[in-house]
Structure 1
């Protein structure tokens, strides 16, 4: 009798435990598998937790772009409440080195802004990852060819072209009129550029005693100055690489274009030692007759002049005049986006990159700063071609040359080009001597 009672008890306990298990399995307590989703609801809950991604950039610390940048981030976060974007604003001059140092120390940003001069160094250092799969074919195949070529390394797209900035010629109508020139007629050849610049510089000083310059040629000491030199260099028929081999100093283009820069500096027609930032300031304050800059120039000039949109009446913009090649030779710099190899949130990082190059974001950025899009489907939108200003830059993009920056030493080579400019402007060396002193260093980088 005693054994029978114990057996009934054991059976009862077992039945009870079985019912508990069955009840738990059907209770929907968060551990069931959704076969259609392929993930458990617990995993979905984890996915809904907010993640933070860091974005290293320089537009957050520049007056002309910081407001639209804040708007872009706010718009993205509103649509993606589970992703928080933390901006790491770094001044442009320190940007490349700081990103490289931070990445080497294991604290790389999830996403980094770049341009065509910085990207080869980031790729060469192995701190970024391919974007083909992260962004998908819909976006990758939509990149304009010139931009995609400059973003591709060993067959993989390593940086996402964001906003190409073809360089065009701005001219100051007020100074043209004071020099006895037609303020509505821009130069069409480089010979006319030199003639007009000489006449404007002859004005001497502005009403408040500041020197007047006819044209601003970037001849600072950084790699950006070396890159901007490409515009006169290409106009004289120069070719940096031929079949992958360095041909920068072959022919007469390098010496002739350095000679042009030297004439402008020696005659005080262009300021000596001035980089892009200084030249923008001079143009904004009415001290500079002509200046070649990117499509963001309009917003920069409005801000720097303190006159806002009213300043637009004082200047015009046109495609770069032609020279020996018979074509409007120019280059385009380009804001690019890269995703770190170290990121723990590649999907969230990719989502932010996709948003920044989307129609919604590009129209916002265009309305604020006049930037173009590197995506074929967006470049021709009416919203991106709403006025003559936008049309000039879209036309200029059709003849703009991409930098051959797949070599990680390209940026260093451009610093050496800046040294040439310094030698012929500050050092008064002949173009031939400047080439003789500097070219061996550039060749060494490529060998």
Structure 2
């Protein structure tokens, strides 16, 4: 009897083993092997039809300009995948990185996290997010703009999806141009922009408040350090020399820092401003010009209290030419990453694919002017319908890549913003500040 039982148990075990091997070949994939090759810890996917809840940490869901679009996209996805529930975790823009790292420390990381180019390097070089190559597939990745793939990669692996890319373009207030006696056209060069800005800065509001001609963000924040690259590049400078070594102790960077100092010293730009401060000032008619991504338009409409009517009061143009004699800009992108400890990585990747597919990203564009990072969609009529669209698309073609992701890159951006603050607020010597910044970046960006 014991012998019969033993033979029976062995037979059952062999059948189970063969069945397991057969199912893996039949599906055509080996998920465990793929995840391990990508540096992931294996996590089982949900069975077809099984109820899945994905948590999505986002600042866009907390903002009036984008909340409705995200909610509509989730409703659209529910029609496609009724078994998948998306639960938003609304976190303000300035807090999302810190809060999600705190959540990760207790193994409670949201499945999907919204991020942005200046802070993405800290995610990419951490262990709280997972590589995406095997989860998304090569065909999908090949359809992403190469510069955006580079900006969201680390050590040869795609660590995030560029969700909504945007170049920085010039916004100008037509009403203030008219009041200052200027032509109704954007400046063609930096020199012309400064002359126009000086004229606008002579104006006052009816209550005597200052009106600024041109604004640059100078508060100490990583995003402002990244934004300073736009000016560094425009003055013909760079963070790295021709040998790939850090070198910002150059005439071009010194001239860039002098540019920031002169803006504030001559009362052309507000002192210590955040990007949101510039958006607010522009919306209420107290700022003649500034540079921003596509995000500005929806914010202007909301803050001005005039809605679409406010569109008649402003224009958009390419970044003026400077030392390079070209319109030089940078592009950033709102990105999406997946938690390393997510129990539903593939489902999260599928949802991200949906958010960047035609129907969803077209809705996002319609609601808040978000662009697409998909090559196959970039020339679609939906993204080239208006003059605003066309300027953004043209500027995106001239945008220079950001530095490669590095464990110290976010800190480098912060130090760069501090350098801008030192010259614009503390009025320190630009040459000394450039030398000090050079020493710091050489230690950070090894």
Unaligned runs of 5+ in 1: 1-32
Using a 3 Å threshold, how does the CA distance of structure 1 residues 35 and 442 change in structure 2: closer, same or farther? closer
Q: Which residue does the alignment assign to 1:187?
A: 187
Please identify the structure whose Cα radius of gyration is greater.
Answer: 1
How far, CA to CA, are the matches of 1:68 and 1:282 in structure 2?
A: 25
2:64 partner SS: coil
How far, CA to CA, are the matches of 2:304 and 2:255 in structure 1?
A: 34
How far, CA to CA, are the matches of 1:225 and 1:317 in structure 2?
A: 21
Q: Which residue does the alignment assign to 1:247?
A: 246
Task: Give the TM-score normalised by structure 1.
Answer: 0.88
Using a 3 Å threshold, how does the CA distance of structure 1 residues 315 and 442 change in structure 2: closer, same or farther? same
Query: How far apart are 1:440 and its partner, in Å?
Result: 1.9
Q: In the alignment, is the contact (CA less than 8 A) between 2:217 and 2:275 conserved in 1?
A: yes
Q: Which residue does the alignment assign to 1:4?
A: none
| Residues paired across the two proteins, number | 410
Deviations 1:287-330 (A, max 9, x none): 00001000121111111111111000000000000111111111
Query: How far apart are 1:152 and its partner, in Å?
Result: 2.1
Q: Which residue does the alignment assign to 1:386?
A: 385
Q: In the alignment, is the contact (CA less than 8 A) between 1:246 and 1:446 conserved in 2?
A: no
How far, CA to CA, are the matches of 1:45 and 1:138 in structure 2?
A: 23
Q: In the alignment, is the contact (CA less than 8 A) between 1:238 and 1:248 conserved in 2?
A: no
Using a 3 Å threshold, how does the CA distance of structure 1 residues 341 and 45 change in structure 2: closer, same or farther? closer
Q: Which residue does the alignment assign to 1:433?
A: 432
2:218 partner SS: coil
How far, CA to CA, are the matches of 2:343 and 2:84 in structure 1?
A: 13
| Higher mean C-alpha deviation, range 261-270 or range 227-236 | 227-236
Q: Which residue does the alignment assign to 1:12?
A: none
Q: Which residue does the alignment assign to 1:176?
A: 177
Query: How far apart are 1:140 and its partner, in Å?
Result: 0.4
Task: Give the TM-score normalised by structure 2.
Answer: 0.88
Pairing of 1:36-435 with structure 2 (within 5 A): 47-183=48-184, 185-203=185-203, 205-242=204-241, 245-435=244-434
Q: In the alignment, is the contact (CA less than 8 A) between 2:240 and 2:248 conserved in 1?
A: no
How far, CA to CA, are the matches of 1:237 and 1:176 in structure 2?
A: 29
Unaligned runs of 5+ in 2: 1-21, 29-43
Q: Which residue does the alignment assign to 2:5?
A: none
How far, CA to CA, are the matches of 1:186 and 1:426 in structure 2?
A: 28
Query: How far apart are 1:402 and its partner, in Å?
Result: 2.2
Query: How far apart are 1:401 and its partner, in Å?
Result: 1.4
How far, CA to CA, are the matches of 2:425 and 2:70 in structure 1?
A: 38
2:183 partner SS: coil
Query: How far apart are 1:244 and its partner, in Å?
Result: 7.0
Using a 3 Å threshold, how does the CA distance of structure 1 residues 44 and 408 change in structure 2: closer, same or farther? closer
Q: In the alignment, is the contact (CA less than 8 A) between 1:237 and 1:324 conserved in 2?
A: yes
RMSD: 2.1
Using a 3 Å threshold, how does the CA distance of structure 1 residues 86 and 256 change in structure 2: closer, same or farther? same
How far, CA to CA, are the matches of 2:177 and 2:46 in structure 1?
A: 65
Deviations 1:124-177 (A, max 9, x none): 111111111111122100011111111222221111111111000000000000
Q: In the alignment, is the contact (CA less than 8 A) between 2:249 and 2:434 conserved in 1?
A: no
Query: How far apart are 1:243 and its partner, in Å?
Result: 5.9
Q: In the alignment, is the contact (CA less than 8 A) between 1:197 and 1:213 conserved in 2?
A: yes
Using a 3 Å threshold, how does the CA distance of structure 1 residues 159 and 324 change in structure 2: closer, same or farther? same
Deviations 1:195-226 (A, max 9, x none): 110110011x1123321000011101111111
Query: How far apart are 1:285 and its partner, in Å?
Result: 0.4
Q: In the alignment, is the contact (CA less than 8 A) between 2:246 and 2:438 conserved in 1?
A: no
Q: In the alignment, is the contact (CA less than 8 A) between 2:176 and 2:285 conserved in 1?
A: yes
Query: How far apart are 1:438 and its partner, in Å?
Result: 3.3
Using a 3 Å threshold, how does the CA distance of structure 1 residues 46 and 285 change in structure 2: closer, same or farther? same
Q: Which residue does the alignment assign to 2:443?
A: 444
Query: How far apart are 1:78 and its partner, in Å?
Result: 2.3
Q: In the alignment, is the contact (CA less than 8 A) between 1:413 and 1:442 conserved in 2?
A: yes
Q: In the alignment, is the contact (CA less than 8 A) between 1:116 and 1:405 conserved in 2?
A: no
1:408 partner SS: coil
How far, CA to CA, are the matches of 1:47 and 1:243 in structure 2?
A: 53
How far, CA to CA, are the matches of 2:245 and 2:64 in structure 1?
A: 39
Using a 3 Å threshold, how does the CA distance of structure 1 residues 175 and 79 change in structure 2: closer, same or farther? same
